[in-house]
Amino acid sequence: MMNVREEVKKYVEEMMAAASCSKEARAAGEKWLALADQDGSKAETRAFIKELEADIMPIEELIAFVDSPAGAQVFGEDGVKKMSAHAHELKDNGSEFCDCGACTAAAEILARKDELLAAM
């Protein structure tokens, strides 16, 4: 059975590998991975969690972005229509966050934050 540190490491690596991962989240992930096996790294873990909480995109923000002129610039005319429909479908299905690779992995990490902090 995988312990929480090993489980979170797996999600950190998935998050960092995602094209949608912000440079700040990637840097925080790299820093946390370097310290993940050390006991007493609660402060670093708290800083990592704080960064993820700031970077994960709530579904309402995703919708606001894809339905904006900036969203049209990023995704293009056809892409933005698909992204908007997808984002609204996520919301209708009760999703709390964006489902890109980075946000999905961040959500998995944040769901384990209390257990992770206890293990540090």
Q: What confidence tens digit (pLDDT) does each residue in 66-96 have?
A: 999 999 999 998 999 999 999 999 999 999 9
Query: To which residue do tokens 């309402």 refer?
Result: 60
What is the pLDDT confidence band of residue 19, given thresholds at 50, 70 and 90?
A: very high
Q: Give CA separation, 45 vs 11, 78, 87, 108, in Å.
A: 14, 40, 30, 15
Question: pTM of this prediction?
Answer: 0.90
